[in-house]
Amino acid sequence: MQVIFERGTSELQKWSASMYDSNARFVGDLAKAAVDLLNPQLGERILDIGCGDGYLMQKIASQGAVVTGVDYSPELVAAAQARGLDVQHGNAEAIDFENVFDGAFSNAALHWMRRADLVAQNVKRALKHGGRFVGEFAGARNALLIRQAVHAALERRGMNPEEIDPWYLPTAEQYRAVLEGAGLRVTHITLFDRPVVIDYPIAEWIRTFGSPYLTVLEDHARAEFLEEVTRDLRACSKSIFETQ
């Protein structure tokens, strides 16, 4: 049985290369364990799914692999190509490589791909026999307090946040089922905590990582929405601190 995941608003996410470099560089800096698990070898062909601006592609290529990247954002594809990297603009739910790569890799991107079954099937098709897939992405309960505050603010405006939320955030068991359904053999999968300090305004985090939430609002209403979410999160944090 094939399960087709709902699209949500994930395709409405807009990336700014400069904003990504300022507010999201920690994403790539935290990826060492995933790259180590991939263990790219000299001359291997590697597919980087959701490669962004190519920051990690360069790290993988520096180990001698030949890396091809795919990303949905034209802005980030342009930034990666400016680094001299082989990057294509495309959707991992629709890529059509077949028996090409020794390994596939993805860091902090699969949670944007809500048709997870199609992604897994395309990865399986793209790999050579015996190829491997290493992926790291946001799972269940990711950014939970932020999402709860955003959802509550949307509900107060008469909107259904489940229809707007752009992310696919599975448990390990749910994602194992997706991978095995595509014919991949899972040798390691875990859902782990990775606390991250956001040292800039939460409104900037939402603009950087959650712009689809804002697309359902009129331009003039977005600043007020972000201020409301920030106030709610500040009150929530104070409450948590006081109860500890």
What pLDDT score does 19 carry?
58
What pLDDT score does 198 carry?
84
In a domain, 99, yes or no: yes
Range of the domain at 30: 10-141+167-197
d(C-alpha 121, C-alpha 184), whole Å = 9
d(C-alpha 155, C-alpha 121), whole Å = 35
In 10 A of CB 6, how many CB atoms?
11
In a domain, 40, yes or no: yes
In a domain, 238, yes or no: no
pLDDT, tens digit (0-9, with 9 covering 90-100), for 41-67: 999 999 999 999 999 999 999 999 999
In a domain, 208, yes or no: no
What pLDDT score does 43 carry?
97
CA 31, 34, 39, 40 dihedral sign is negative
Q: How many domains does the chain have?
A: 1
What pLDDT score does 241 carry?
47
In a domain, 209, yes or no: no
Please check whether residue 200 is in contact with residue 23, taking contact to mean a CB–CB distance below 8 angstroms: yes
In a domain, 206, yes or no: no
pLDDT, tens digit (0-9, with 9 covering 90-100), for 67-78: 999 999 889 999
In a domain, 176, yes or no: yes
What pLDDT score does 27 carry?
54
CATH of the domain at 120: 3.40.50.150
In a domain, 242, yes or no: no
All residue ranges of the chain with pLDDT < 70 are 1-30, 237-244
The pair of structure tokens assigned to 46 is 């590697």
pTM: 0.83
What pLDDT score does 209 carry?
86
The backbone torsions φ and ψ at residue 90, rounded to the nearest 5 degrees and listed phi first, read -175, 175
